[in-house]
């Protein structure tokens, strides 16, 4: 049943723990709800789809109609000798879906274990971790287009996936609600344990025979030891993207800073860890009142108790300015600012 709620606190619905209110909020459970809600939303008011609120910073009450996505369900659409195609409701919790795949021996998503949020938000910023990006596993996505008032399905190529990027952050922003994602997963695992310290963790766990379950558990252990749990300290994971720069720029930075890390992305481009740049500028562990930079992970900005979104936003601006001044590199925010 589609309901309209007014003046709803969003505190429990965002992992930064910002105490803001939505003027209107509706829970979307079906595609039909998307079609029906349109008639209630005044023309001047934009929509704001919300999943787990784990990639969003509210700096004020959103001047928007919040659509909380709770479209559920995991369906096996088809299979062949090597693969399965699963259609997943956009409101499914991402890590529940990962664990479902691990239990059913469907391979591909295990390195993305424990990323917070929903399935529907995963394609929007092309979530990634431990050497895997979700774009490698997506067959199609389906969304309700509020301008055209119809369902639209895009294949993988049409989503224009990039590093933490897709068409959904650009042309389609603000006019759609993701309803379903179809994943193509493998029946035969192709373990990817060379990234980070997965192998080390598997050794520590005493694992000698690889399995999806073991790799997923290793990733969960590593993440739990490195990243702050939003239930304890408000945060939205990495606040900034890792900058990609031309090789020539990287080489000249290396002359000045011989220890600067870099990963070759293509013939022309090197990716530099933003965490290293931020740490070099002295921000790691910085705290002012209730907001700061995490002690172990300088990419993560935190709300220790009652920080305001504007405090966190201004801190991010100061960090961007200091990295720009010292290294000549413009950091880009990964988190969506409202």
Ligand X SMILES: Cc1cc2nc3c(=O)[nH]c(=O)nc-3n(C[C@H](O)[C@H](O)[C@H](O)COP(=O)(O)OP(=O)(O)OC[C@H]3O[C@@H](n4cnc5c(N)ncnc54)[C@H](O)[C@@H]3O)c2cc1C
Provide the annotated active-site residues. 164, 238, 334
For the chain, how are helix, strand and coil distributed in percent, rounded to 5?
A: 30, 30, 45
Could you tell me which of 26, 41, 48 has the C-alpha nearest to residue 336?
48
- Biggest CA-to-CA distance, the chain: 63
Interaction between residue 90 and ligand X (CB under 6 A): yes
Give the chain's end-to-end CA distance (angstroms, integer). Answer: 28
For residue 212, what are its two tokens?
Answer: 């999806």
Nearer of residues 236 and 329 to ligand X, judged by Cβ: 236
Per-residue binding string, ligand X, 193-232, x by CB under 6 A, is: ----------------------------------x--x--
CA quadruple 314, 278, 227, 336: dihedral positive or negative? positive
Could you tell me which of 184, 194, 128 has the C-alpha nearest to residue 161?
128
Using CB atoms within 10 Å of the CB of residue 39, give its burial: 0 to 12 exposed, 13 to 18 middle, 19+ buried.
exposed
Nearer of residues 59 and 336 to ligand X, judged by Cβ: 336
Among 30, 59, 310, 336, binds ligand X (CB under 6 A): 336
Site residues for ligand X, 14-43, by CB under 6 A, read 15
Using CB atoms within 10 Å of the CB of residue 245, give its burial: 0 to 12 exposed, 13 to 18 middle, 19+ buried.
buried
Among 62, 237, 262, 292, binds ligand X (CB under 6 A): 237
Nearer of residues 175 and 324 to ligand X, judged by Cβ: 175
Nearer of residues 56 and 253 to ligand X, judged by Cβ: 56
Interaction between residue 236 and ligand X (CB under 6 A): yes
Among 101, 102, 107, 124, binds ligand X (CB under 6 A): 124
Nearer of residues 47 and 214 to ligand X, judged by Cβ: 47
Interaction between residue 52 and ligand X (CB under 6 A): yes
**CB-based contacts of 123, cutoff 8 Å, min separation 6:** 134, 135, 138, 141, 159, 161, 166, 168, 178, 181
Interaction between residue 140 and ligand X (CB under 6 A): no
Interaction between residue 142 and ligand X (CB under 6 A): no
Interaction between residue 53 and ligand X (CB under 6 A): yes
**CB-based contacts of 298, cutoff 8 Å, min separation 6:** 275, 278, 279, 283, 284
To ligand X, the closest distance from the beta carbon of 51 in angstroms equals 2
Among 118, 216, 303, 316, binds ligand X (CB under 6 A): 118
Contact residues: ligand X, CB under 6 A:
15, 48-56, 69, 90, 115-118, 120-122, 124-125, 127-129, 176-178, 227, 230, 235-237, 336
């Amino acid at each position: 049943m589609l309901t309209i709620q007014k003046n709803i606190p969003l505190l429990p619905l965002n992992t930064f723990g910002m105490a803001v209110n939505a003027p209107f909020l509706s829970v979307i459970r079906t595609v039909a709800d998307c079609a029906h809600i349109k008639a209630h939303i005044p023309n001047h008011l934009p929509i704001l789809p919300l999943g787990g609120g784990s990639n969003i910073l509210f700096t004020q009450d959103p001047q928007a109609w919040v659509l909380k996505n709770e479209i559920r369900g995991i369906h096996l659409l088809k299979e062949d000798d090597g693969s399965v195609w699963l259609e997943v409701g956009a409101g499914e919790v991402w890590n529940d879906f990962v664990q479902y795949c691990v239990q059913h021996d469907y391979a591909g998503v295990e390195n993305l274990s424990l990323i917070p949020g929903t399935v529907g938000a995963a394609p929007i910023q092309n979530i990634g971790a431990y050497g895997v990006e979700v774009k490698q596993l997506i067959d199609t996505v389906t969304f309700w287009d509020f301008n055209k008032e119809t369902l639209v399905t895009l294949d993988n190529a049409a989503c224009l996936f990039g590093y933490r990027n897709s068409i959904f952050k650009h042309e389609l922003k603000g006019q759609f609600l993701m309803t379903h994602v179809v994943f193509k997963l493998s029946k035969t695992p192709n373990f990817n344990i060379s990234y980070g310290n997965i192998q080390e963790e598997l050794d520590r766990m005493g694992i000698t025979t690889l399995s999806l379950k073991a790799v997923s558990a290793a990733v969960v252990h590593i993440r739990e030891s490195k990243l702050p749990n939003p239930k304890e300290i408000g945060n939205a994971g990495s606040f900034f993207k890792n900058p990609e720069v031309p090789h020539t720029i990287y080489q000249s930075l290396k002359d000045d800073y011989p220890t600067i890390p870099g990963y070759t992305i293509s013939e022309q481009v090197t990716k530099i860890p933003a965490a290293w740049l931020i740490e070099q500028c002295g921000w790691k562990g910085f705290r002012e009142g209730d907001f700061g930079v995490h002690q172990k992970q300088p990419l993560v900005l935190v709300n220790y108790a009652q920080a305001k979104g504007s405090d966190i936003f201004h801190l991010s601006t100061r960090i961007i300015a200091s990295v720009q001044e010292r290294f000549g590199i413009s950091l880009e925010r990964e988190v969506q600012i409202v």
